[in-house]
Amino acid sequence: MFDGNWRAAVDRGLTPVGHSLRKTGITPDVITIIGIVMSAVAAVTIGAGYLRVGFLFLLLTGIPDALDGAVARASGSGSSRGAFFDSVSDRLTDALLFGGVAWHLASTEPGRIMMLPVAIMGLAMFVSYQRAKAESLGYDAKGGIMERAERIIVLAFALLFPELLLGTLWVMLVLTAITAGQRFVKVWRQASQDRPVPAPRVRRQPRVRTTEPLWRQRMRERRATRSS
């Protein structure tokens, strides 16, 4: 939802910042690595129970995530390698953050409620896989009510108000599952309209069968050889 409505406007707003950072000599890969480090610190902080401090580090994680693309566009260094690294870092960041939440719940809540953020992380990975696989096949799988940007925003809200953490996680789980269904239906409809046309059948030429015995054919061939 964020990608479809506000991504272009945000990218245009960050373009001047990207040009300024490019002049300092910093590369998009370095910014991406800084974001991974920030997410790891946020995960440890959340796991230790300092949720509001984790909220601050989560905000710091979002800054490099927004700026690496701006620097790449400003420097003209965008490439498939950079896009791959950025996508992988996003998945790693999600795993670290929700892993930190699971660590916190395992230490403070009874039962198996720690599996709630693990389930959200699994669905988030599934949503991401749907888009990657669809785009590799030439289809569009963007969109949905709970994409990555929305998950980060909702998680930040849950960390800012720890008393609402469990309820917010349940809402996030439901909305992420709905997003997975939305993307599946979207790609399914595109693929259904693009059914392959069956190849035309090739008619085989009928075989000419002879009823003459083989020994008679050979005798005729020998006579023809002698007469020549």
Report the alpha-carbon distance of residue 71 to residue 134 in Å, rounded: 27
Nearest to 70 by CA among 24, 13, 23, 25: 13
Catalytic residue selected from 90, 94, 140, 194: 90
Q: 90 an active-site residue?
A: yes
The label of the residue with tokens 């997975």 reads 180
Give a three-class secondary structure readout of the chain: CHHHHCHHHHHHHHHHHHHHHHHCCCCHHHHHHHHHHHHHHHHHHHHCCCHHHHHHHHHHHHHHHHHHHHHHHHHCCCCHHHHHHHHHHHHHHHHHHHHHHHHHHHHHCCCCCCHHHHHHHHHHHHHHHHHHHHHHCCCCCCCCCCCHHHHHHHHHHHHHCHHHHHHHHHHHHHHHHHHHHHHHHHHHHHHHCCCCCCCCCCCCCCCCCCCCCHHHHHHHHHHHHHHC
Residues marked as catalytic = 90
